Each structure stands twice: as structure tokens, then as C-alpha cells.
Structure 1
Amino acid sequence: MASIKPTPDLRPARINALGEFAASIAHEVKQPLAAVTLNAQACLHWLEQDPPRVDQARTALRVVLEASTAASAMLRSLHGMACQAAPQRQPLVVNDVVRDVLQLLRGELRQQCITVTESYAPDYQLRADRVQLMQVLMNLILNAIEAARDLHDRARTLALHTSLADDGLRISVADNGVGIAPALAERIFDPLFSTKPGGTGMGLAICRTIVQSHGGRIWSEPGQPHGTVFHLSFKEYTLWTPSRS
């Protein structure tokens, strides 16, 4: 008589997957919601001035709208990734995406007294999911902000660059924080691994999944003389030319 094999219990795996998904949601929407709060407070501050600073309040409200829209879009993106849906790719100018993410995070960068330097290649475009590319850049910039929090012996800086390299169109995010220990550098993209106390270990894992789904590559290297540099590289790109009406 043939033996009957026990049915494997899939519940632990499902619970783990659900936990990872919940951690992903918490990680991804945290900063857009913080931007909503920060700029709503700023708006109230400007309106309470005598006379009210209407232009500044209007600017803060625009960021509130952009951040809330970004949070909703990121939730849809995470749901799509969980369901293994294909990215919603369209032609987009990389430099514009970088600037849009910086705009969302300006308040946090100012709060942490971080000086930002930017340099851009000519306007090249990718066929990419805009929300997902913004997720990646937001994660990397937030990591750079986190790396600068404990700096007291030097100015806090963040450098953003787009450039052409031998391996394609690059986006680079460099901080001047304490850096990543060499023994941990190989593990930072692993799910649920974090070098930060209280970190979810999902941010960089999500970044790698998104970049690879776009045919790209992501990696880190030590900054000089301090900090860490993260690079994204995409082989397929085109020079953007404005359409003529």
C-alpha cells in the first residue's frame, strides 16, 4: 500500500510573505506621509502670519498634494509587485524624476541641514514605471539622510548625479555619512536585512527588485573620503528631444 505523504503546511510561508508585504507598505508610505504632515504644518504657519503668506502656503499645499498622490501611487505599485504585475512603463526623462523626488524631500533635507549638490547629464529618457523609479530614488535619498543624522564633525552633504558611463545611463546618490562596513556591504540588498536599528530591511530589497525588473543594475561602493555611493545603471536609453507643436 502506497504511503500517503502529508500535505505541506503553507501557512508559515504565507504569514512570512504577508509580514514582508506589510513591512514594505510601512516602509514605502512613511516618507510621503511625513512630507504631508511637515508641509501641512508649514502651510498653517504661513497662513497664521500677519499678513498671511499666501504664496508660501500655496507652495506647501502643492507639496502636500504631490506627497499624498505619491503615497497612493506607491501603494498601487506595491500591490502590483505582490501580484507580479508588469511595471507600467512609459518614456520618461530621468532628470525630471530625480528633481521631482528631491522636491518631495526638500523639507526633510532642510530639517537635517543637508546641503544638496546636483549635476545632470543631458536629458535622456528611459521606458520605465515612473512611480517605481521614484520609489527607488526616494529610498536611496532617505538612506543618505539617515546616514547623516549622527554627523557632528563635518557638514552634511548629499550629491545626486546623472551621467553616461560604459555600462549605460547612471543615476548616483552619494552621502558623506559613516559608510557601510565591508562585511555587511554584500548583504544590504537582502530582504529583511538592515544595518539600521529598527529598520525593516525592505527598502533596498525593493530597490533591487524594481531596478532588475527594468533590466538595470544597482550596487553600492564606499564614498571618498566618507560615506556611501549608490549607483543605478540602465543600458537602454534614448536622448530626449522636445516635441514640436
Structure 2
Amino acid sequence: MASPPPSPDLRPVRLNALGEFAASIAHEVKQPLAAVTINAEACMKWLEQDPPRLEQARAALRVVMQASTAAAGMVRSLHGMACQAAPERSTFIVEDALREVLQLMRGELRQHGITMIEDYAAAPYQLTADRVQLAQVMLNLLLNAIEALKDSAAPRTLALKTLLADGALRISIEDSGAGIPAALAERIFEPLFSTKPGGTGMGLAICRSIVQAHGGQIWTTTVQPQGAAFHLSFKEYTVWTPSRS
């Protein structure tokens, strides 16, 4: 009687998956933790003033709390994605969520002399989605834009926009950096593919997974005279209307 074939050794596959998961966590929590450090240092400086600048210190501490909550939420989100859990959906105003993400990025924007332009649709729109995961996507895209602008000549501008287009709610991030070479535009969403030295190649892959899990689309275009834009599009949206008591 022939012996059964040996079972495949799944350890390399599991190790690769574990490595990707660890790289994802390291990549995603980097910015919230940086925001914690920057604002904690700012808080100490405000408190050391004579007299102490208490309101500014409180504002810095609020960002510390927001950033630490964001980091914890992102770890939970990545764990859920690794376990193929469904997104934790809630209904929220998109512009409010975007402003929260920008608050975490203020220090980076100031440090690199980047002018931030916010151009939101006239009416507030709502999404029913995982708010933490949307924040992950926006943080990744904003960080990529900042990276693209670090070595650019002035003016360094970054625009965050919302609008209705083709029957869907669109969120766009546009930068005035060097742009994305056409030969690489089709590959930037691939896992482990990176155009940056030392990059993990996980950020845009995570963005695509999250957006697609919400039934949306993500793509990139060229900005004239120079720069790149990333767009998110969601067909399932509603117009926010204030509740009446």
C-alpha cells in the first residue's frame, strides 16, 4: 500500500504572512505615534513658559489623545483585516473625519513648509463605513503626498477635496510634487512594491484593500503642471441633514 504524500510545509507561508502583518502594523502606526511625540513635546514647551500657556498645552494634549486612540484603532483594524473580519461600519460626516486626520498631520505639514488647501463640497456628505479604516487610507495618502513634497521647490501645496462626480462621492488628494512615472502608476498598489528607499510597500496596498472592501474605487492621476492626485470614490453616500428636536 502506497504511503500518503507528505503534507506541504506551510511554515514559510505563515512566516511570510506574519512578516507582512508586522510590516503593516509598523507602517500604519508610525504617523500617529509621531504625532504623539511632536505634540507631547509641544505640550511640555507650553507648560514651561512663564506663565504657562495652558490653552495651547491642552490643545496639544487633545491631539496626543486623538493620535493614541487612532494608533490603537489601526492595530485593531489591521488585526480584523488579517482575520478577514467585516469592517466595523458607522455613519459619519466625511468632512469631519477628514479634519480629524488633518489634525494629526499639522506638525508634519508645518515642518516641511507645506500649504494645506481644503476644498469641500457645499453640502456635508455622509458615508456608512469603518471610520478608523477611512482614517488609515487618508493618513497613508497624505504621508505619501508629504514625502513627494519634501524635496520639491516652493511652493509646496497639498489639496484635499470632496465633490460629487459620476454619481459617486469622491475624495481627492492632490500634491505639487514630482508626480508618479507612468511606468510605475499601474504597480504602486501592489503589495510589497515601493518606489521609496526603505519603503515597506504596504501602505497603498492596504488602501486599496480597505477601499474595495467598502465597495469603492481608488486610482491615481497626473496633476498639471506637475504633481499627482489620488482619488477615492464611493457610490453609497447620503447628504447630511441636521436632526430636528
Which residue in 1 is equivalent to 2:182?
A: 182
Give the aligned residue type for 1:88: E
| SS of residue paired to 1:164 | strand
Give the aligned residue type for 2:46: W
Query: How many Å apart are 1:225 and its aligned residue?
Result: 1.1
Assess if the C-alpha contact under 8 Å between 1:167 and 1:233 holds in 2. no
Deviations 1:48-105 (Å, cap 9, x if unpaired)?
Answer: 1111111111100000000001001111111111111110111111111111100111
Which residue in 2 is equivalent to 1:201?
A: 201
Q: Does 1:237 align with 2:204?
A: no
| Cα distance in 2 between the residues matched to 1:120 and 1:81 | 30
Please give the residue correspondences for 1:1-40 in structure 2 after superposition, counting only pairs within 5 Å.
Answer: 1-2=1-2, 4-40=4-40
Give the aligned residue type for 1:132: Q
Which residue in 2 is equivalent to 1:148?
A: 149
Deviations 1:140-175 (Å, cap 9, x if unpaired)?
Answer: 001111101111x32111000000001510000011
| Cα distance in 2 between the residues matched to 1:3 and 1:181 | 54
Give the aligned residue type for 2:115: T
| SS of residue paired to 1:86 | coil
| Cα distance in 2 between the residues matched to 1:72 and 1:3 | 49
Assess if the C-alpha contact under 8 Å between 1:89 and 1:128 holds in 2. yes
| SS of residue paired to 1:178 | coil
Q: Does 1:44 align with 2:44?
A: yes
| Cα distance in 1 between the residues matched to 2:163 and 2:3 | 62
Which residue in 2 is equivalent to 1:101?
A: 101
Query: How many Å apart are 1:224 and its aligned residue?
Result: 1.2
Which residue in 1 is equivalent to 2:140?
A: 139
Query: How many Å apart are 1:6 and its aligned residue?
Result: 2.3
Q: Which runs of 4+ in 1 moved over 4 A?
A: none
Mind listing any 5+ residue stretches in structure 2 that lack a counterpart?
none
TM-score relative to the length of structure 1: 0.97
Query: How many Å apart are 1:223 and its aligned residue?
Result: 1.3
| SS of residue paired to 2:224 | coil
Give the aligned residue type for 2:134: L
| Cα distance in 2 between the residues matched to 1:195 and 1:244 | 50
Give the aligned residue type for 1:125: Q
Give the aligned residue type for 1:229: A
| Cα distance in 2 between the residues matched to 1:27 and 1:77 | 13
Which residue in 1 is equivalent to 2:191?
A: 191
| SS of residue paired to 1:127 | strand
| Cα distance in 2 between the residues matched to 1:113 and 1:167 | 36
| Cα distance in 2 between the residues matched to 1:79 and 1:12 | 20
Assess if the C-alpha contact under 8 Å between 1:93 and 1:125 holds in 2. yes
Assess if the C-alpha contact under 8 Å between 1:29 and 1:71 holds in 2. yes
Give the aligned residue type for 1:219: W
Assess if the C-alpha contact under 8 Å between 1:115 and 1:157 holds in 2. yes
| SS of residue paired to 1:4 | coil
Mind listing any 5+ residue stretches in structure 1 that lack a counterpart?
none
Which residue in 2 is equivalent to 1:75?
A: 75
TM-score relative to the length of structure 2: 0.97
| SS of residue paired to 1:192 | coil
| Cα distance in 2 between the residues matched to 1:146 and 1:34 | 15
Deviations 1:201-234 (Å, cap 9, x if unpaired)?
Answer: 0000000000000000000011111111000000
